[in-house]
Each structure stands twice: as structure tokens, then as C-alpha cells.
Chains A and B, each alone.
Chain A
């Protein structure tokens, strides 16, 4: 690290001050620290005023024009006052900040539109009635049947995926070696990339062979979701099991505990928080899957169906999709409200998972 011999005006943050051989100063000239935000504000005011006068004012245009003007002026200002390299650095800084701001636009607008539009219809009535007997344009109906379908299908998928996924993770960390381990690791990675619609088609093909064509039920949907969920569970559980320090295993072996009991009583309890988090995040991912359920669990159920093995079963994502397909204003209202319901469920899973991993993290140190 260089030690600046003279503290004058503050240099560019993190960039480090470049000593210049020319001139009397050991530190090169640099723009004052407040220059960047000040320039941005001034430009926003100028551009805003100009747009207002020409009658073209709107927020996205203001943001874009201001940003472009800022990039140009900061580069020129820096090139004049400082030097070409710093000018480039400031330009890139502006671009990186802009990238980040750009990414916030969809997130904020998505949450905003879903909340605003969803709240119009989301109430106790909407959550507790089904669509049974509701004609498409009637101002009635709700998502009770879809919530039940979502919970049951995802529940069955979890019951299938968690044991398989967890046991595979245990195999990879505790037992696996050689070719088989390599193959499983590689193909689990590949499996995370299977398109969800292909998972649905797989079950369709399977069902056609076993039960004949045209048979849709909740269990088929659950199996399709398991295909998508298993690799996610394996990956997160594997990571968590690897975090368990080897000393714990060795201490257990030294006491004469068999390997399987060591895993069951020492390794798993140590990693349980991380495993729970991983499983909940996997659930959050599959609970919003739509495409496989359209193919396997059907998209036209309107009544409450508690039976996973008989008849079509509606789910929240498919409900949103089928309402949008109908396309009337009332359908969009239902779709937005259902989307809000779905997002709330996903966010709950997401945040509870984060809380679990924060408060029940394995105590690795002593």
C-alpha cells in the first residue's frame, strides 16, 4: 500500500491516488468528492426542466436522458481535470451503477403491480371459495381449490424428493467414490437444467405407458415436480453436509459408533438448519412451476379435489395461467390476486428459510 505524502482533496474512492511526476504536487489533481452527486442532481434538474418545457416529460425518459448526459459530462470533466484513465474509470463506475439500477426496475415494478392489482380482489372470500359453478364472467369465485391443489401436489413432491435427495447427498459426501460419484455429481448438475416442460412431458409419456392416454391427476404433477426438485435438494444438502467438520465424525468413530449412526446422530443434526433452508428454497422454486402441471394435473379443474390420485387438480400457478388465457377484465383481476397469493407463499418460504439458516446455523466453532 502506498502512503500518500500529502493529504489534499479526496481522491477517487478506492482508485488510489496516482502520483504524477509533472507539476509541483505529488498527488494528481482530482475532482472533489461531492462532484459526482452534485453533477447528477444538476443534470436531472436541467433535463427535467427541458423535458417539461417541450411537453415530453415522463420518468423513464428523464432517467435515461439524465444518465446518458451524466456519462458524457463526467467523462469529459474527468478527462479535462484529471486524466484519460480516470475518466474511463468514472465512466465504468457510472455504467455499473446504471446496470444495477436497471435490474431494480423489473423487481420493483413487478412487486408493485402485483401488490396494487392483487389487493383489489384478494380478501377472505377470494381465499375460501373455489370456482365451482362460477361462469367465466361472473363476479365471484376464488382460489381455495387452487391453494389446496398447490399444497397437496407440492407436499407430495416434497415427500418424494426429500428422502431421495437427502440420501443421494449423503452418498456423495459420506460414501461415494470413483466413477459412480463423478457420474452422479455431473448428472445432478445437468438435471438442474432440465426444462420444466420436459419434466412434464416425461410424466405424460410415463403415464401413457402405464395408465393409457389422457389420464391426469395430482400425483402425476407431483412426480413431475419431483424431477425438478430432487437435483436442487441434492445440491443444497450436499453443500451443507460438506460443512460439517470431519473432527465430529472422527470423534464419533473413536467412541465406536457405527458409521450409519454417526451420520444419523452427529452429521445430520449438525447440518439440519442448512438442510432445512435448502429444502425450503427448493420448495419455493417448485411451488411456482406451471408448465409441468398444465400437462400432468390438468388446467380446467374448478372444484375442490382432495384426491391426489383421481381427477384433475388445480394449482395456483395454473390458475393464474388459465385465467389469463380467458382474457376478460374479471379474469385478469383473479389472476393478479392469485399471483399475489402465490408470491406471498413463496416469500414466506424464502424468508423463513433465511431465518432458519441464520438462527439455527451449525455451531462449528467452540
Chain B
């Protein structure tokens, strides 16, 4: 933190006839400070505006909706006289895809962060930091293209093995989709996409583990893994959780990869290897170009639900991360 200079324009020695009168406000200062503060307030206004406009524009369709918005799976906003639509299946798909992504990405991300901070040689570690950042810089639409053009094909045999040996678990029950455009594929691509953010957060917090803690563990004869388990993980847990929740927020809102990979249907299905399910974000992207009448307003209502979910997740994540700052 930088200590604030309260009134730099005041002169320190008033006696002896100060040339600059005490406490004079220069026009430049007033304008500049006002502009800076105004920008800050504008950001708050934009965020409030996002919420406000979504609420206002979704109002029409929600009023006209004849079905329960939260428990219905169908999406028929343009049936004359009685539009019926709901986000039940969409919300389920959104959470399911994000959960798959989180389950895959978190352990791997922790492993990478540990590798970068404690296992890799220092020179290599610096380069690896860039490489992980690079993974974050690749546009989501390219991930989608890669997912549908390469990953889905490569995963085919793997899915067959999964169905053959784990098919008794309902999650992996067949018949498997021949195209591979399934929930599991979408979840895997999402996992790759949120890997960098979880890795970055975990890496930051691992680097902040006090050296005294680590050396104390090693001095007591701990192996490297015991040192990590006893000194690093307890210290880093809030950072890992915060990072995972930020990743979750991103996975919930990710649009293109899901829209391009998943072959959608508006059902609530637990079968990860069959086509089906859909997420809110992908549904909006796919439906919007053809939406008319109440359609647009209904999609905005779905967007409002997504906004609310991600807002809660992100605020919780920030809360967890900022609490760590207070204690360390």
C-alpha cells in the first residue's frame, strides 16, 4: 500500500508570506481528481447497468411466460398466446459442464503449480509460467475448433474403453455418441480452458509460502512431499479454493467451446457419453440469431440467470481470496 499524500498542494511553512496560499485548489487538480473518481463511479454504474438492463428487458417475456421459468425445460417463447420456456435443463447443463471441468482441472492445475514452484529447475519454471499464460491467451473459439476438429476424434477410443469397463455406472452408460459431441467432451475442453487461471492462482499462493515454514519441515527430515503436505498445502488452501472458484465462474460462463462441441438437446441427462444437455451460454449464442418476438427477451432472462450464478460464485471466490490476504 502506498501512503496517501493528503494535501500536497499546501505549503508547509505558512509564515513568511507563502506565495501559494494555503489549501488552494488548482483547477487542474480538481478536474483530474474528478475525472479519476468519475471513471471509478462509471465502472460501478456499468455493472449496475448490466444488471438493470437485463432485468428490464427480460421483464416482458417473463410476464408473458405461462410456464414456471425455473422448473421448465422446454424453450418455446414464440408460441402465440402462451409462450412457455424455462431454464431448468439449461441451468443443469451449465452446472454439470462446469463441474466436470472443475473436477478435471483442479488436481491437474495444483500439480502444474507444484511442478512450476517446487519441482522444475528455476530457469525452466520461468518459461513454464509463460507457457501457461499462453494457454490462457488462446481464444475460446479456437479451443472450440480444436475440440471439434481434433479432440473429439482422439477421444473416441477412450470413450469406448470407458463405456466397456465403466458402463455399469450410469454416468458412462452407452450407447455412446458416434460423433463424440458429448457433455464429457465439452467438459474436457472447458477443463483445458480454466486450467491456466487455477494454475496461476495456486502458483502465486505457493510462491508466498514462508521459506521458514518450508525449511523447518525439511530440517525435521521431511521428504519433499511431506514438506508440501505439511507446510505448503495448509498455507495455500484458500488460494487454491479461490482459484478453483474463479475457474468455476469462467467455466459457467464459457460459450463458444460448448456451443461448437456439444450437440444439444433440452433435456436433463446424466449420461455423459451420449449427446444431450445444453448450457445457458451456448443456448443463447445458438438461439439468438434466429430469435424473434419474445425470443430475445427470453434469452435475456436466461442470461440474467447466468449473470446471477456467476456473480455469486465470483463474489464468494473473491471473499475467500481476500480473507487469505488479511491473515498472511
Q: Which of B76-84, B223-231, B265-273 lies at the interface with chain A? A: B223-231
Q: Which of B61-69, B129-137, B165-173 lies at the interface with chain A? A: B129-137
Q: Closest CB of chain B to A194's CB: distance in Å?
A: 7
Specify which of A193, A299, A321 is in contact with B249 (CB 8 Å cutoff): A193
Contact count A vs B, C-beta below 8 Å: 302
Tell me if B289 and A171 are in contact (CB < 8 A). no
Bound Cα distance A151, B144 (Å): 22
Closest 5 CB pairs of A and B: A288-B139, A195-B253, A99-B111, A193-B314, A260-B32
In chain B between 135 and 165, which residues have their CB closer than 8 angstroms to a CB of chain A?
Answer: 135, 137-146, 148-151, 154
Bound Cα distance A106, B191 (Å): 11
Tell me if A167 and B138 are in contact (CB < 8 A). no
Residues of B within 8 A of A170 (CB): 36
Tell me if A343 and B315 are in contact (CB < 8 A). no
In chain A between 252 and 267, which residues have their CB closer than 8 angstroms to a CB of chain B?
Answer: 253, 256, 258-264
Residues of A within 8 A of B154 (CB): 60
Bound Cα distance A110, B218 (Å): 40
Q: Closest CB of chain A to B76's CB: distance in Å?
A: 20
Residues of B within 8 A of A249 (CB): 5
Residues of B within 8 A of A114 (CB): 142, 145-146
Residues of B within 8 A of A4 (CB): none
| A interface, CB within 8 angstroms of B | 1-2, 12, 14-16, 18-19, 60, 85-86, 88-89, 92-93, 95-100, 102-104, 106-107, 109-110, 113-114, 117, 163-165, 167-168, 170-177, 180-181, 183-184, 186-199, 201-202, 204-206, 208-209, 213, 227, 230-231, 234, 242, 246, 249-250, 253, 256, 258-264, 281, 284-285, 287-291, 294-295, 299-300, 317, 320-321, 324, 332, 335-336, 339, 342-343, 346-347, 350, 354
Judged by a CB distance under 8 angstroms, whether B177 is at the interface is: no
Tell me if A193 and B40 are in contact (CB < 8 A). no
Tell me if B145 and A163 are in contact (CB < 8 A). no
Specify which of A187, A258, A295, A317 is in contact with B47 (CB 8 Å cutoff): A187
Closest to A284 in B: B137
| B interface, CB within 8 angstroms of A | 2-5, 8-9, 20, 26, 28-29, 31-33, 35-44, 46-47, 49-50, 53-54, 56-57, 107-108, 110-112, 114-116, 119-120, 128, 130-135, 137-146, 148-151, 154, 192, 195, 199, 215, 218-219, 221-226, 228, 246, 249-250, 252-256, 259-260, 281, 284-285, 288-289, 296, 299-300, 303, 306-307, 310-311, 313-315, 317-318
Bound Cα distance A295, B283 (Å): 12
Tell me if A195 and B254 are in contact (CB < 8 A). yes
Specify which of B38, B44, B246, B285 is in contact with A193 (CB 8 Å cutoff): B246
Specify which of B50, B111, B143 is in contact with A198 (CB 8 Å cutoff): B50
Tell me if A320 and B141 are in contact (CB < 8 A). yes
Given contacts A96-B114, A176-B40, contact A230 B142 (CB under 8 A): no
Q: Closest CB of chain B to A156's CB: distance in Å?
A: 16
Closest to B114 in A: A96
Specify which of A18, A95, A173, A339 is in contact with B142 (CB 8 Å cutoff): A339
Q: Closest CB of chain B to A235's CB: distance in Å?
A: 12
9 contacts between A and B (CB under 8 A): A60-B154, A92-B228, A93-B224, A107-B134, A191-B47, A194-B310, A195-B255, A259-B8, A290-B255
Tell me if A195 and B219 are in contact (CB < 8 A). no
Interface of A is mostly: helix
Tell me if B253 and A167 are in contact (CB < 8 A). no
Bound Cα distance A304, B259 (Å): 27
Residues of A within 8 A of B151 (CB): 106, 109
Tell me if B310 and A175 are in contact (CB < 8 A). no
Q: Closest CB of chain B to A289's CB: distance in Å?
A: 7
Residues of B within 8 A of A96 (CB): 111, 114-115, 119
Bound Cα distance A308, B150 (Å): 36
